[in-house]
Amino acid sequence: MSVNQNNLELGATPIEPDNLVLRNRARKSAGLPGITQAIKHVIRHMHTRSFLKTSFSMNQKGGFDCPGCAWPDPDDDRSRLGEFCENGIKAIAEEVSKYKLDRVFFQQNTVSALRAKSDYELGKLGRLTEPLAYDRIVDKYLPVSWDQAFKLIANELIALQDPNQAIFYTSGRTSNEAAYLYQLFVRCFGTNNLPDCSNMCHESSGKGLSETLGIGKGSVTLQDIYEAEVIIIMGQNPGTNHPRMLTALEQCKTNGGKIISVNPLPEAGLIHFLNPQKPMRMLTGGTAIADLHLPVRINGDVALLKAIIYLLFKLDNSDGQCIDYEFIQKYTVGYDAFAKHIDDIDFAACVEASGVTENLIQEAAALLCNRQKVIVCWAMGLTQHENGVNNIKEIVNLLLLKGAIGKPGAGTCPVRGHSNVQGDRTVGIWEAPPEKFLEKLDEVYNTKMPRQHGFAVVDAIQDMHKNPGRIFVALGGNFLSAAPDTYYTAKALKNCGMTVSISTKLNRTHLIHGQQSIILPCLGRTEIDYQAQGPQFVSVENSMGIVHSSQGILTPCSDNLLSEVSIVSKLANETLVSDSIPWLSFMDNYDLIRDEIEQVIPGFENYNQRVRQPGGFYLPNGARERKFNTSSGKAHFSINELPNNDLVQGQYEMMTIRSHDQFNTTIYGLDDRYRGIHQGRRVVLMNSVDMELAQIKPFDEVNLVNNYNKRERIAERFKAVPYDIPARCIATYFPEANILVPIDKFAKSSKTPCSKRVIITIKKI
Ligand code: SF4
């Protein structure tokens, strides 16, 4: 690794050796190359016996839930060839690593030396095996007993003048049981400072959907995906980020459905799918996925949706061909104002702002016109914008016009990127909890929970940055690498009096830490959770609101790990000395936690019984039944202004993306096979005409610069790669480019950082 010690101290990732290779882009996804890659990961990182055991249990009823994305498993039969994808296998290979980080490793490596390792190298070091505390004198993490660790943390928490000086982050892998206990502990401690990874991803979806449909979750089921006549996939790359979604899309295509992809990049997964679970179909050429690709400009989505809606009104000609007036009349409010707004828009300006040609937009409108079963799926490409909430509300407008909510084959589908991010929010991980929820906690626990809303992620970082001495506890995740404005966030973490990480593996957040730093190693999903009353299982909620069990099957990689539930129980027990809640009994038997959840949260009736049913149970979903929990009791049309996407000379709009060898901040490898980019991650994907105009040649090294709010942010030494991307748009991988994402630029009302539209200039080196 090339090492600029100053930048590493500031939180930067090291610059990789110069091995970048460009190959042809893939036109088909999955298939034999996917199987080969998965096998390579297994051979490199896992014992064969562990692989065989896990592969028969992963995502099966009664098995363990993939720690990857939150795509649901089929309700009925599950494939005997394995109900997982290439990236699910990579996630398991990371967790069930045959390598371990023992105390000898930490004695041999200072934290400063570890910072020089890339995120990829850190991930490959193996599993954490015992609790560790940072020793400033030797600059090393050294072993500490569990008792000592809990005492150290509890003493610091108790010594705070105000509970709001502590911040408790949660990542989306955390189970319902651990998350519920954690929020209960944090609120009993006296704060609602519960930022979570949802703040950085689908918060805009939650806001937009709640305001319009009365529920912050999607409305569709897998069966709806199979039955849809048209599915629009916006700002989402399922081939890499939710690969088994392609199986569902294939089913939709087999049933005659049409698929429209909306994305600045033509992603391989949406072009053609070779389903490894259907060898015959794979060998006979697979399935073409998208019938129509709309190469929208970055943040051109509202303009595009408005242009499509405008054409639908024209095609309908008030005779109900395209528009479901009966549904609108019965179930919605705000239609007249919305129809007038669309009538008044400048169609040509919308077409131009979308970046898509009028012909393609007409094709999309024609596809939609006579079809009533419409689903829109989306991910971060829509939510991580200043107008992220409006993007979602405009999607709802389209669906309401089509009457495409609350009927088979139709509805909203925000696809979540981490396996239990939705469940964590359901069970109370929320910095802005509704009053009803707090009242219920008050009643059940005979106490008064804090009312003041806490910090979302961006607020938390700004608070830690401004105020030295905060305590930051992270239940999972790699906060530094996930968060925006890397140097700013790093300074915020270094400013803390104590940082605590509950983790399975070493990551960059452990290396950029507070005055004191403690790592508490926990069990992974695949491992058996032995407790006093026998092995326990946990439960999670997927993107479609199904709660189901997850039970590990492998012997834990170390005898000195605790489950997340045990860690939270013990920490609460140590911190809340005069508390009457029996924290330690929860960890002996997780049924007791589920009983508590059942008492507090609607929809969990008979939790312990229903979670034991094969496949779990669906949570209630008003939008699915056309019951809208809004101020009017109806679904709301909304009027969303076009965002101003103007650029001045020399500026580009940058979006951060994942490579195919990556899951969130975990870097599995250095190749992005589908995009033809190999052995290098520090790349900037550019339109070739833009490159010519800027006199930048392929492989030229450039610095990327953002100056938002008069603070200069520089991401150094990225290699230019010509790519099929709209003019003035560029794409870079995160976390490397997170340096450029301003902390103080986020979605209005949801506070989601604007990682998908960062204004930058490019400086040749
Ligand atoms: S689609 Fe998502 S949940 Fe399913 S195996 Fe792949 S990564 Fe895991």
| pTM of the shown model | 0.96
Q: What is the pLDDT, as a whole number, of residue 2?
A: 47
87 lines ligand 1 (CB under 6 A): yes
CB 382 within 8 A of CB 391: yes
Q: What is the pLDDT, as a whole number, of residue 264?
A: 97
Residue 364: is its pLDDT beyond 90? yes
To test the pocket of ligand 1, the residue of 55, 81, 242 to mutate (highest count of ligand atoms within 8 Å of its CB) is: 242
CB 381 within 8 A of CB 292: no
To test the pocket of ligand 1, the residue of 41, 87, 96 to mutate (highest count of ligand atoms within 8 Å of its CB) is: 87
| Rounded average pLDDT over 8-17 | 86
72 lines ligand 1 (CB under 6 A): no
| Rounded average pLDDT over 403-425 | 96
Residue type, 480: L
Q: What is the pLDDT, as a whole number, of residue 577?
A: 81
CA of 85 to the centre of ligand 1 (A): 6
CB 415 within 8 A of CB 236: yes
Domains and CATH numbers, the chain: 99-200+424-526+559-601 (3.40.50.740), 203-414 (3.40.228.10), 649-764 (2.40.40.20)
Cα 664 to Cα 304: distance, rounded to the nearest angstrom = 28
Cα 315 to Cα 318: distance, rounded to the nearest angstrom = 9
84 lines ligand 1 (CB under 6 A): yes
Residue 608: is its pLDDT beyond 50? yes
| Rounded average pLDDT over 173-189 | 97
Tokens of 561: 């790990």
**Confidence category of residue 55, pLDDT binned at 50, 70, 90:** confident
Cα 203 to Cα 350: distance, rounded to the nearest angstrom = 26
CA of 375 to the centre of ligand 1 (A): 21
Q: What is the 3-state secondary structure (H, E, C) of 438-451?
A: HHHHHHHHCCCCCC
Supply angle C-alpha 629, 310, 645, rounded to 5. 85
CA of 81 to the centre of ligand 1 (A): 14
CA of 279 to the centre of ligand 1 (A): 19
Residue 132, beta-bridge partner list: 143, 519
Residue 570: is its pLDDT beyond 60? yes
CA of 544 to the centre of ligand 1 (A): 14
Residue 578: is its pLDDT beyond 80? no
Residue 6: is its pLDDT beyond 80? no
User: In terms of Cα–Cα distance, which of 757, 764, 751 is closest to 200?
Assistant: 751
Phi/psi at 209 (nearest 5 deg)?
Answer: -75, -40
User: In terms of Cα–Cα distance, which of 312, 396, 307, 411 is closest to 358?
Assistant: 307
* Ligand 1 atom index nearest CA of 244: 1
Cα 125 to Cα 390: distance, rounded to the nearest angstrom = 42
User: In terms of Cα–Cα distance, which of 18, 20, 15 is closest to 671?
Assistant: 20
CB 175 within 8 A of CB 358: no
